[in-house]
Amino acid sequence: MSHPLVVVIDDDEWMSAHVARVLKKHGYEVEAVPHAIEGMQLIDRTHPAAIILDLFMPGPNAFVLLHELRSHSDLSQIPIILCTNSARELGDYDLGSYGVHIVLDKTTMQPDDLVAAVRRVTS
């Protein structure tokens, strides 16, 4: 039985490694990249079960990637978990139209929150 693949796109290497450790411990395969362009290439190649995406990165940010994903019919249904330090500032912004299912606040997120979010979007 294969384990669901989760793609992590975050320029914070420590955060990417932490997310990967937590998810691998719970049976997920994880591939991480630091930038949106590399993320799009990885997503296009692997068609993951879920994407964990940081909002702000050098170069194209998450919104550029989200828009690009929505324009590809074969990728537009992949659930996205936005993981950001700016969760409060997003407020009522309509992220669902971008395919974002869950927003996690990096400043308060616990490992169990991350696992629960991935389980929710992949079940």
Q: What's the confidence (pLDDT) of residue 89? A: 60
Q: What's the confidence (pLDDT) of residue 57? A: 83
Give the residue ranges of the chain where pLDDT is below 70: 1-2, 86-94
Q: Cβ(65)–Cβ(36) under 8 Å?
A: yes
Tokens of 36: 């949106």
Measured over all CA atoms, what is the biggest interatomic distance in the chain, rounded to whole angstroms?
40
Q: Which domains does the chain have, with CATH numbers?
A: 5-122 (3.40.50.2300)
Q: What's the confidence (pLDDT) of residue 95? A: 72
Q: What's the confidence (pLDDT) of residue 27? A: 95
Q: What's the confidence (pLDDT) of residue 56? A: 82
